[in-house]
Structure 1
Amino acid sequence: MNPCEFLQWCLAILVLLVIYIYWKTREAYIFWQSRNIPCRKPTFLVGDFADVLLGKKSLGEAAQDAYNEFKNKGPYAGFSMLLSPRLVVMDPEAIKNVLVKDFQHFHNHGSFHNEKDDPLSAHLFAVEGEKWRRLRVKLSPTFTSGKMKMMFGTMMESVNELEDYMDKAVLQNSVLEIKDILARFTTDIIGSCALGIQCNTLKDTNAEFREIGRRMITNKFYASIKRSFTTSYRNLARKLKFKIVDPTVSKFFLNTIEKTIKYRETNNVQRNDFLQLLMQLKNKGCLDENEEGQDVDDKTALTLNEIAAQAFVFFIGGFETSSSTMSFCLYELALNPDIQNKCRNEINKTLEQYYGKLTYDCALQMAYLDSVIYETMRKYPTIPMLPRMCSKDYILPETKTLIPKGTGVIIPVRGLHHDPNIYPEPQKFDPNRFTEEAKKTRHHFTYLPFGEGPRICIGIRFGMMQTRLGLISIIKNYNIMKSDKTSVPLKIDSRAFLTSSVGGIILNFERLGK
């Protein structure tokens, strides 16, 4: 083939590719139009995803925009993620159908995982169907209140280290970037409770576990493109052997889990932590204690890779979400000193009832603190949208419209949480929204920081407890104030999938009398 013919072939292929992309773009538009579901006219190639790809908006913000634009036009809207159609579910009752009532049609997240080439990606959040059901049944007993009490002493060791660190840090400089401090605190808790390893990230800012944590949560442009592609074209991504877990992180976790298990089994070491429970599932297929929710009929053992994947998602899901929630909470308390004082008074009074000792039961008695945390998660939902995948053809109850198998679903959590018709003055920080009386006035499915239904976050108890403990430790010991370096309002990072602030959160801490 001469150069001229080669060029002609290249041009022909390019033209065919452009025609194909144009056809797919138009198909995505017609997909929703033909079903009488309101949507925007998608942009060539990228659909409704241009601002996300350019880093101008996060996926959560894009979903919120769709919610705000279409919420008064019906319970659903159409959205195009690249060339892939997504159904945005906006009505609380319709959301309930997707997450609970018709769960059998939407039991998958639609997240990319590649168990063969990327074993850590095959964790509880991402796996589907029978694989998910089996893992969920086996792992649910590891997060009972009894297991949380078992880990409480281990968690308190990290709380004491946080208090020591804060005392020393404030003596040197009262103005601190609190997000990184709390990320190190949660890294230490998760490392200890999940892996039985002393991470020491509070004592050593360059500790290996902290660097691994930073690599897990990357907001680089390439990572955003890769995440979008693997989510939209999962089968193709698997054939191309795509990996979404950083190879350095994957190697570190697999080696760490293998070495830790080998050491414990060789030396007969027992610890009250998550890994010990996973080891029971590896060796016996079930836990030693037959607690609530355990399916004793299924005693299929977990593999080493399955254990590593669950420890990985527990680590990544625990340290970033809780540290962000605590940071946003302290920021709001600095801006609202009356709420801060009320919260501190409750903490001190409750501690008095327990003779000054912070116990598991004591932490659960602080109702106003919980309301403050709930309001923080309303205003700053760590996961701003919930993904689902239609696993078999579904008829929308309100419209009798067929949604075919394989269609993605988006539930715009941030849109719901910031809807003034649901939460008046949504930018106002008001914990009174979460009194028992106030909660009864709203539809249950208008507040979804942990998801809902059978695929609700399995680690709610753990996440809430470490968040409570971190906040109690700081609020009871420090007056939290704005500094000249505090950003008001906060700028939310548009490149991040999880809700996070640009440049961290800088606050002023004044030590209260001991």
Structure 2
Amino acid sequence: MAFSTLSFQALSLILFTLTILIVSLIRKKRNYWYSRAIPVAKGQSVLSTLPVCRLNEKHLTSYRNIAIETPIVGLHDAGKPCVLICDVQAASIVLSNDGFVEDTEISQAHTHSKIPNVITEDNMQVVMPAMAECVKELAVSLEGLANRKMTIAPWAALKRCASNTVATCVYGETMIDSRMKAFEELCNVAMKYEKTQTAGKHLISYENALSANCIKTMLCKAANIDIVDDEIRMDMFTFVTKAIEPTAALVTATLYELSQNSRIQSQLRNQLDEVLDEDLNNLTIEQLDRIPYLDSVIHETLRKYPLMPVIRCIVTKPYSIQTKQKTLTIEPGVVTLIPVHAYHHDKIHFTNPETFHPNRFPGQLSSAYIPYGSGPQSYIGKHFIGLEAKMIVAILLSKYEFTVDKRNPGKAPNPFDKSSFSEFRVQLSSRMARNCVMEQSLQELSKKNKLFKLF
């Protein structure tokens, strides 16, 4: 009995001591912002000041809405201090400032990329034919499923198409199945361990597969070298890993919204039919540019489902933000959060932000719209991703119809949860099959009513 009492007292003493230590740690962490005269975000759990508790990025919108009049507020993520940029204009300045780098080990060691000056809209003309062939292969692979009006989860097929397109455009040659499988495995490893330098070197392993019309050649010319060195390798690594899943996510979200709204889908298809030929041969950038509603649909998808819902930057040198009352200084090493999703769903900048409304563009393009980031922190492959996504949507919508299967609707994509994109399901049907059914019904109607003579 006495032993049990002593054990209980010892346990109580340990728990009391731990409680005192945890409370002291929480107070010390929260005082970090108070001592710097930076307001603390309201509503965040005190547990986020502990090393084991990560910040819930979904809640950044609510933190920002509470502090909408304040340019920045202080937060904690796994016990480390970070600031939330509430003001859109302040975010634009931060993203264009060389005192901030992307929050990865690669970017800190590799900040002067040559890709932004190479992967331009003009240079996309070079890889357009190869890209078109890969997308057509995707369309053909879905033909049998469409004829049977199957319900599919498009994520896997779209990711494979994006992988094939990237590999073909990077190396300037079609990848045979065995090499494509190896390339996909390398990409998966690289994306899983993207914060290591060795992953980038391991990914780009096809040194001899150089063509005059491939992205590796473009980079070598830009760097004025004959051999792909470590710097170009890291550029290539960043481009490849950030062009596959974002493309698949963008197209998946677009198909989701089009399947939910037949009116928008029909309006876009009508414009496609006016511009594109029936066989979809010789598809060009000029043709896609003549379909303004396609641009609007892609813009609106990126607004509602930004590829980077939160941009994380690390401060490399002291940065000050001037307010009406005082100057707020962010110290080196602090993580800065740009809540892109919150900006894109801000009622001040976008009316009825939860509604998918492509007609809001291009009129509502503003500094609050940063789907790829901006400045040095923007997606280096944004022109590549945008062109490929437009091409996939154009070709698929020209051949097929997408509707919701009420018996098996799946889940809506969630930009904060990448795994949710694989759970979306859509019913696929061939336009050819639809036209045959319509023609048959009209013929039967014509036979029954001689006054209604169509054939």
Same fold flag (TM > 0.5): yes
2:243 aligns to what SS in structure 1? helix
Instruction: Render the CA deviation track for 1:267-318: whole Å, top value 9, x for unaligned.
Output: xx5341112233446xxx3279xxxxxxxxxxxx762x33333222211111
Indicate if the aligned counterparts of 1:329 and 1:372 stay in contact, CA closer than 8 A: yes
Find the counterpart in structure 1 of residue 108 from structure 2. 127
TM-score (norm. length: structure 1): 0.72
Equivalent in 59, 63, 66 of residue 62 of structure 1: 59
1:184 Cα deviation (Å)? Answer: 0.8
Q: Deviations over 1:28-67 (max 9, x none)?
A: 31122231413248656632897747xxx5x3x1323322
Residue 418 of structure 1, CA deviation = 1.5
Q: Which amino acid aligns with 2:90?
A: A
Aligned to 1:510: 429
**Offset of 1:423 from its aligned partner?**
2.0
| Residues paired across the two proteins, number | 417
Counterpart contact for 2:297–2:358, Cα < 8 Å:
yes
Code of the residue aligned with 2:33 in structure 1: it is W
Alignment of 1:10-409 (within 5 A): 24-34=25-35, 35-40=37-42, 46-47=48-49, 52=54, 57=56, 59=57, 61-71=58-68, 73-100=69-96, 103-106=97-100, 108-109=101-102, 111-113=103-105, 122=106, 126-127=107-108, 131-133=110-112, 136=113, 138-171=114-147, 174-196=150-172, 198-199=174-175, 207-215=181-189, 244=194, 250=199, 254=201, 257-258=204-205, 260-261=206-207, 263-264=208-209, 270-280=211-221, 285-286=223-224, 303=229, 305-351=230-276, 357-398=282-323, 399-409=326-336
* Per-residue Cα deviation, 1:231-277 (whole angstroms, up to 9, x for no partner): xxxxxxxxxxxx65589x93xx645634x21x34xxxx534111223
| Deviation sequence 1:100-124 (CA, Å, 0-9, x none) | 3xx1433x12x232xxxxxxxx3xx
Contact 1:21 1:45 in 2 (8 A): no
1:229 match: none
The answer (yes or no) to whether the contact 1:22–1:45 under 8 Å persists in 2 is no
SS in 2 for 1:402: strand
8 Å contact kept, 2:304–2:356: yes
Distance 1:382 1:160, change over 3 A: same
- How many angstroms apart in 1 are the aligned matches of 2:228 and 2:211? 19
In structure 2, what is the equivalent of residue 291 of structure 1? none
The TM-score, its normalising length taken from structure 2, stands at 0.80
CA RMSD of aligned residues (A): 3.5
1:41–1:380 CA distance, 2 compared to 1 (3 A): closer
Q: Does structure 1 residue 423 correspond to structure 2 residue 350? A: yes
Q: What is the rounded CA distance, in whole Å, between the counterparts of 1:488 and 1:168 in structure 2?
A: 21
Deviation, structure 1 residue 153: 1.1
Q: Distance in 1 between matches of 2:22 and 2:174?
A: 51
Identity %: 22
TM-superposition CA deviations, 1:413-452 (whole Å, max 9, x none): 11111223322222211001113x343xxxx221111111
**Contact preservation (8 Å) 1:40, 1:78:** no
Deviation at 1:385, TM superposition (A): 0.7
- Residue 449 of structure 1 aligns to which amino acid in structure 2? P
How far off its partner does 1:160 sit? 1.8
Q: Distance in 2 between matches of 1:502 and 1:255?
A: 28
CA spacing shift, 1:69–1:146, aligned 2, 3 Å: same
Q: Which one has a bigger Cα radius of gyration?
A: 2
CA contact (8 A) 2:280 2:395 kept: no
Letter in 1 for 2:122: G
Flag the 1:48–1:79 CA change in 2: closer, same or farther, 3 A. Answer: farther
The counterpart of 2:391, out of the listed 469, 482, 491, is: 469
1:491 and 1:187, CA in 2 relative to 1: closer, same or farther beyond 3 A? closer
> 1:411 deviation in Å?
0.8
1:166 CA displacement: 1.5
Structure 1 residues not aligned, in runs of 5+:
1-13, 114-121, 219-242, 289-300
Query: SS of 1:424's equivalent?
Result: coil
Q: Tell me what 2:381 maps to.
A: 459
Unaligned runs of 5+ in 2: 1-14, 436-455
Counterpart code for 1:207: K
Q: CA distance change for structure 1 residues 143 and 310 in 2, over 3 Å: closer, same or farther?
A: same
Measured after TM superposition, the shift of residue 453 of structure 1 is: 2.2
CA contact (8 A) 1:22 1:44 kept: no
Residues 332-369 of structure 1: CA distance to partner in whole angstroms, max 9, x if unpaired? 00111100011111112122599964112212222111
Q: Is the 8 A contact 1:170 1:510 kept in 2?
A: yes
